[in-house]
Structure 1
Amino acid sequence: GLRTRGVRVVSCPSCARQGFDVIRTVQKLEDALGHIKTPMSLSVLGCVVNGPGEARETDIGITGGGNGKHMVYLSGITDHHVEDDDMVSHIVRLVEAKAAEIDAGASVSMDTLHGKAA
């Protein structure tokens, strides 16, 4: 915890309640977000049971939903839905935009507010 760079991903193991393939999605997101050096957090949880609690503590969060629609959280607050097909690219765009805001001093990471980044 002495130094943090890049996106800290909070995720859950797979379970019967997941609304999408969490492990594969996290792998895709980690690959796609490797260029981000700004410390920030992303929660990726497959269900609406545990997901909202984790999402409240992260800069960007996604929880699995029914019928291929998933809830997106921004700065811990429920914001909008995203469909399966656009989920990874949509989250990448949100993370890039949030990183740009943090780098410009227009925003602060939730990790900084909660003392998780050093």
Structure 2
Amino acid sequence: LLEKFDFTDIVLSMKSSTVSTTVKAYELANERCDYPLHLGVTEAGTEYSGIIKSAAGIGSLLLHGIGDTIRISLTADPVREVQAGIELLKSIGLRDGGVRFVSCPTCGRTKIDLIGLANSVQSKLSGVNKDITVAIMGCAVNGPGEAREADIGVAGGDGCGLIFRKGEILYKVPEDKIVDALLDEINKL
């Protein structure tokens, strides 16, 4: 209809609250027209479920080269929508800059509060704009090796942590000093 009146300044958005419907709609639109596509899963839900649904839908489309702009719609603070969008783009390699954060799941070898440590470090790094990868690993058995690509990281020990850079162990610190030691090393980068 718009093209009939010579109006072609169009951006298409075909959202659904169902991920599979959203993906199919955008795939069809991508096949049939050349207009920019604004991606989103509408009414995605609360922060937790909404981020998962949005990442599944928007992420899969972007990984197939479909989409021009995105919107993460959450029943949450709009700042979290923006943060989720930035993290999504970073995680699939479409945005550089800022800290990339990796951490392992806990297992029987974990002897530190890995969950608390990971959350604390990630929170303290939220405003840092260095293009670095930071790893928070639960044990010295796998930590430095699995996270050798990280610019800086920590591998947990028994009440302590091994600070490492690019897989090379720098030094050992008590558990209550890990965050400060890691932040000091990040400031040196």
| Shorter-chain TM band | 0.7 to 0.9
Residue 132 of structure 2 is matched in structure 1 by 40
Return the letter of the residue paired with 1:71. L
Specify every segment of 5 or more residues in structure 2 that has no aligned partner in the other structure, as ranges.
1-92
Give RMSD over aligned pairs. Answer: 1.3
2:77 maps to 1:3: no
Give the match's secondary structure for 1:26. Answer: helix
Provide the aligned length of Structure 1 versus Structure 2.
Answer: 97
Partners of 2:101 and 2:166 in 1: CA distance = 14
Assess if the C-alpha contact under 8 Å between 1:43 and 1:54 holds in 2.
Answer: no
Kindly name which structure, 1 or 2, has the bigger radius of gyration based on alpha carbons.
2
Partners of 2:105 and 2:155 in 1: CA distance = 13
Q: Determine what percentage of the aligned residue pairs are the same residue.
A: 37
More strand by share: 1
Residue 27 of structure 1 is matched in structure 2 by 119
Assess if the C-alpha contact under 8 Å between 1:7 and 1:33 holds in 2.
Answer: yes
More helix by share: 2
* CA positional deviation for 1:58: 0.9
Partners of 1:6 and 1:24 in 2: CA distance = 21
- Pairs within 5 Å for 1:1-118: 1-66=93-158, 68-98=159-189
* CA positional deviation for 1:2: 1.7
Residues 1:44 and 1:86: Cα distance change in structure 2 (over 3 Å) = same
Partners of 1:69 and 1:33 in 2: CA distance = 21
Specify every segment of 5 or more residues in structure 1 that has no aligned partner in the other structure, as ranges.
99-118
Partners of 2:131 and 2:142 in 1: CA distance = 23
TM-score by length of 1: 0.75
Assess if the C-alpha contact under 8 Å between 1:18 and 1:47 holds in 2.
Answer: yes
* CA positional deviation for 1:48: 1.7
Q: Deviations over 1:26-66 (max 9, x none)?
A: 11011111121111011111112221212321111111112
Assess if the C-alpha contact under 8 Å between 2:163 and 2:172 holds in 1.
Answer: yes
Runs of 4+ in 1 over 4 A off after TM superposition: none
Compare relative contact order (CA 8 Å, sep 6+) and give the higher one, 1 or 2. 1
* CA positional deviation for 1:96: 2.1
TM-score by length of 2: 0.48
